[in-house]
Amino acid sequence: MNRFRRKFNTFARQSRLTQMLLVPAWCLTGLARLAVLILPFRWYAAGLGRYAGVSAVIPLADARQYATALSIGRSVRMAATVAPWQANCQAQAIAARCLLGLFGVPYAVFYGVANAPEQAMQAHAWVCCGPVPVTGGYAFDEFTVVAVFVGA
């Protein structure tokens, strides 16, 4: 009961937009996870945005769009914590991309591999809107970008 109360209090402190987007974000993380599991990457890659190669292109936005991107990021991360499926970085990135596109907010979806050669092969996906890390953090220091998809 105490855990539920903490989660509810966290939810109640969020902006109205973040609260409204929680259920759609939860559904989108589930659909994204399903797509990742059953579809080849090339089938849904075109839906991520315009392929921009490996350059770290981050589209800029206005203050209102940054605020929207922050709310979308919060809702996707909150949805991922309560999802009964594995809402990993790729599912979160796809869900965030869908919501950012819906609101017309410029974004970049990054795919990267770990820089450390002593580690086993690690991959990561993250989304940025200007200086705002929407999902997956601001992972440029830890991962080498291998693909970028830009949209808005």
CA distance 18 to 3: 20
Does the pLDDT at position 84 exceed 80?
Answer: yes
CA distance 107 to 103: 11
**pLDDT for the residue numbered 63:** 92
In the chain, what are the helix, strand and coil shares in percent, each to the nearest 5?
50, 20, 30
Q: Model pTM greater than 0.85?
A: yes
Amino acid at the residue 147: A
For a pLDDT cut of 90, what percent of the chain falls above it? Answer: 61
**pLDDT for the residue numbered 19:** 81
